[in-house]
Structure 1
Amino acid sequence: MLNDLNSASQRIGLKMNMNKTKIMFNVHVTPMPVVVGSTMLEVVDEYVYLGQIVRLGKSNFDREVNRRIQLGWAAFGKLRHIFSSGIPQSLKTKVYNQCVLPVMTYGSETWSFTAGRMRTLKVAQRAMERAMLGVSLRDRLRNEDIRSKTRVTDIAQRISKLKWQWAGHIARRTDNRWGRKVLEWQPRTGRRSVGRPPTRWSDDLVRYAGSRWMQVAQDRALWHYLGEAYVQQWTCEGL
């Protein structure tokens, strides 16, 4: 298939980028060399696709959360001259919410939420808030006092709200797109892994809307009402 794609691309003047074309094998496939033209493709365990880490047979979310935090700090560093300047705090807050927070929360609609992952994100955001105010842990300021000064959007509030909205959107779709198909996917063995299974994407949704949450989401008013409690729970988690 890849060689056919390569040939068809060349006929219309396009060229595959072999440096960006990688191969991953799951446990159901025997690894073997894959050669396109005269180039052997690199076999990798993970790959960044559409802005997110993809790994086969393993949870991507811890790695992706850490990667998002690193990218958030990179965006914060580029704007540090603004955060350390004497401009009004309201403008600093606006810059943070519009330029740093979206980087840290990109793709979070697809994450499986756990208390540990949420805590990791909150710790990173609090460190950024202290940097905005020019204080350190040694100053022993309460998190509530820091937030009252920075007034940035709580990262847990943002990502939980995004996920709840996206879940409702997926549940109400009727166009048979991949989003709904992937959500209803079942392992080929019909069973989950032995031991404590990893947290599923829909587990926290089920806790608030029940096992028939996709039917509940059809009522937009009810879904919005339940979403307020859902967001509040994650916002208060770990405080």
Structure 2
Amino acid sequence: MGLQMNNAKTELMRMEKDVNREEQLEIDSIRYGVCRRVKYLGSIVDDDNDMETEIKSRIASADRCFYGLQKVLGRANISKKTKLKIYKTNIKPVLLYGCETWSLTKGMEHSLSVFENKVLRKIFGPVYDVHEQA
């Protein structure tokens, strides 16, 4: 096929427990370095298989998308239904990209809920409880 591997850009990631992570691989007198984290197809792959880094990265990306759309979501002349469609089509896919492979803890699930509630508060505005005012 004529493909060649770029030795300067090639690194090794070990996914085994109890292994020396700093060990280098040498093939034909070419040494390949070791990395602990790599971004692959938009998702962060960690040698510890820690999803927290990936989820924090997804929340940060969705947050940038949210702030880019904040003027639109804050307009009074756009219906809440339209704002929800904007959220579901522009922000939520950025947040949940790759979520099929996540194994969540309660803390990570809470972080995702906090972000979603922030966006929904912007869309629906403040909600006043009638019972608390009495």
Q: Tell whether the structures are fold-level matches, with TM greater than 0.5.
A: yes
State how far apart, in whole Å, the 1-side matches of 2:108 and 2:81 are: 28
Aligned match for 1:9, one of 3, 11, 15: 3
Task: Name which structure has the greater RCO, CA cutoff 8 Å, separation 6+.
Answer: 2
How big is the alpha-carbon RMSD for the aligned residues of Structure 1 and Structure 2? 3.2
Equivalent residue letter for 1:61 = M
TM superposition score normalised by structure 1 = 0.44
Cα offset, 1:121, TM superposition: 0.6
**1:75 — aligned with what?**
65
Cα offset, 1:80, TM superposition: 2.0
Q: Could you say if the C-alpha distance between residues 31 and 88 of structure 1 is closer, same or farther in structure 2, counting changes exceeding 3 Å?
A: same
- 5+ residue gaps in structure 1? 1-7, 143-239
Cα offset, 1:90, TM superposition: 1.1
Larger strand percent? 2
Aligned match for 1:22, one of 11, 15, 32: 11
Cα offset, 1:114, TM superposition: 2.6
Runs of 4+ in 1 over 6 A off after TM superposition: 35-38
Cα offset, 1:35, TM superposition: 7.5
Q: How big is each residue's C-alpha offset from its partner over 1:14-42, in whole Å with a ceiling of 9 and x where there is no partner?
A: x74844x332234446712558998x654
**1:118 — aligned with what?**
109
Q: Number of residue pairs matched? A: 125
Q: How big is each residue's C-alpha offset from its partner over 1:41-74, in whole Å with a ceiling of 9 and x where there is no partner?
A: 5432111122222122x24211111111111111
**1:49 — aligned with what?**
40
Larger helix percent? 1
TM superposition score normalised by structure 2 = 0.72
Q: How big is each residue's C-alpha offset from its partner over 1:125-159, in whole Å with a ceiling of 9 and x where there is no partner?
A: 11222233565xxxx857xxxxxxxxxxxxxxxxx
- 5+ residue gaps in structure 2? 130-134
**2:82 — aligned with what?**
91
State how far apart, in whole Å, the 2-side matches of 1:16 and 1:37 are: 15
